[in-house]
């Protein structure tokens, strides 16, 4: 996300801001499929902002399982799509994160 053109986001509670990673599709014969073709929604992204964590019943913050810079896999229909300027971002709950990708 271009920080110069977009404001710094501060998610609340257990929300996470993710920049989707669009993977190039390549056919078996080596042809690249352009982004304009019908593709499914990405399920992989880079975490750009993390909320402070959800409050437990006793008023304590529960720690978040991800941090800024992590690459995550998330539920297909969990995120909310938001457009900030020219950048599309996804906002999701910690419970929508399925795995952290170690690269």
pTM: predicted TM-score of the whole model, two decimal places = 0.76
Domain extent at residue 15: 1-20+42-103
Q: What is the pLDDT of residues 39-97, one digit of tens each?
A: 566 689 999 999 999 999 999 999 999 999 999 999 988 899 998 888 889 999 999 99
Asked whether residue 14 is domain-assigned, the answer is yes
The total domain count for the chain is 1
DSSP 8-state class, residue 14: T
Question: Is residue 35 a part of any domain in this protein?
Answer: no
Q: What CATH number did the domain enclosing 54 receive? A: 2.30.33.40
Whether residue 34 is contained in a domain is answered as no
H-run or E-run covering 26: strand 25-26
Look at residue 66 and give its three-state secondary structure.
coil
Domain-located, residue 12: yes
């Amino acid at each position: 996300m271009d920080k110069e053109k977009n404001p710094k986001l501060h998610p609340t509670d257990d929300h996470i801001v993710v920049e989707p990673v669009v993977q190039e599709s390549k056919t078996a014969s080596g042809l690249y499929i352009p982004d304009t073709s019908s593709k499914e929604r990405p399920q992989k992204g880079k975490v750009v902002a993390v909320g402070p964590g959800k409050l437990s019943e006793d008023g304590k913050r529960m720690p978040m399982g991800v941090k800024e810079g992590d690459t995550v896999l998330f539920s297909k229909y969990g995120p909310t799509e938001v457009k900030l300027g020219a950048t599309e971002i996804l906002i999701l709950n910690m419970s929508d994160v399925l795995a952290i990708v170690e690269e």
